[in-house]
């Protein structure tokens, strides 16, 4: 069964592959980092049965979660720092992009109020992580405003993705079907996050005395 998931999942290199994929998908959102995390977690779900029976190594759930979460935070910080130092060229690129400009404004308002739900939501939305990390850097938001929420977002996303793969493998078997169902659940969370990010904030109405 593990062979059908892929030989990489039985090697310690799976953690490096996951970390590199998650680190780079802030710049290349088309990278299937979520699929890779889910696939590895699905293989880990077989560890108590097929993996144990044949003596084949399977990914460790905690190590998989930590490698994905750490790489997510590092990728966010790299994008943040690059955008911080981007200069006028990046500022003009953001000004030309309605999506980036809107995200930058909303992120600034959210972080200024001491909240960071937008950062967590963006981690699930397609390309949302890129938009928020670049927007925070370009707006020169303080790192202590952005980093804690990036850590929360990375941990939540990694734990959710690993849980989908692991429990999907436990309930449906360590197969491509289980991986597909888990990926659909991750895609559904991303679609919901994207909808919430696009939804305009309610305007506060003043009340007369």
pTM over 0.85: no
DSSP category for residue 205: P
Per-residue tokens: 171: 């309930």
pLDDT at 206 over 60: no
Highest mean pLDDT among 44-53, 57-66, 83-92, 153-162: 153-162
CA separation for the pair 57, 51 (Å, rounded) = 7
Which pLDDT band, with edges at 50, 70 and 90, does 155 fall under?
very high
Instruction: Give the chain's largest Cα–Cα span.
Output: 76
Q: Which residue has the higher pLDDT, 25 or 1?
A: 25
Q: How many CA atoms does the CB half-sphere of 5 hold within 13 Å?
A: 36
What pLDDT, in 10s, does the model give residues 85-117?
876 666 666 666 666 666 656 666 666 555 678
Which pLDDT band, with edges at 50, 70 and 90, does 71 fall under?
very high
What pLDDT, in 10s, does the model give residues 4-25?
445 666 677 889 889 999 999 8
Proportion of the chain above pLDDT 70, given as a percent: 65
pLDDT at 158 over 90: yes
Work out the burial of residue 94: count CB atoms within 10 Å of its CB; fewer than 13 is exposed, 13-18 middle, 19 or more buried: buried
Please state the φ and ψ torsions of residue 85, each to the nearest 5 degrees. -95, 10
Highest mean pLDDT among 45-49, 93-97, 144-148: 144-148
Q: How many CA atoms does the CB half-sphere of 62 hold within 13 Å?
A: 0
């Amino acid at each position: 069964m593990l062979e059908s998931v892929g030989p990489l999942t039985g090697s310690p290199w799976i953690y490096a592959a996951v970390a590199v994929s998650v680190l780079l998908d802030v710049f290349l959102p088309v990278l299937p980092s979520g699929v890779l995390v889910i696939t590895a977690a699905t293989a880990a779900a077989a560890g108590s049965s097929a993996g144990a029976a044949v003596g084949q190594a399977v990914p460790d759930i905690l190590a998989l979660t930590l490698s994905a979460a750490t790489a997510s935070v590092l990728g966010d910080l790299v994008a943040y720092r690059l955008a911080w130092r981007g200069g006028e060229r990046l500022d003009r690129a953001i000004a030309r992009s309605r999506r980036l400009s809107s995200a930058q404004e909303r992120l600034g308002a959210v972080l200024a109020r001491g909240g960071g739900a937008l950062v967590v939501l963006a981690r699930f939305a397609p390309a949302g992580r890129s938009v928020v990390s670049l927007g925070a850097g370009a707006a020169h938001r303080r790192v202590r405003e952005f980093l804690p929420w990036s850590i929360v977002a990375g941990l939540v996303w990694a734990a959710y993705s690993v849980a989908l793969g692991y429990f999907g493998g436990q309930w449906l078997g360590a197969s491509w079907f289980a991986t597909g169902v888990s990926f659909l659940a991750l895609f559904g969370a991303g679609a919901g996050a994207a909808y919430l990010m696009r939804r305009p904030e309610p305007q506060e109405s003043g009340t007369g005395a």
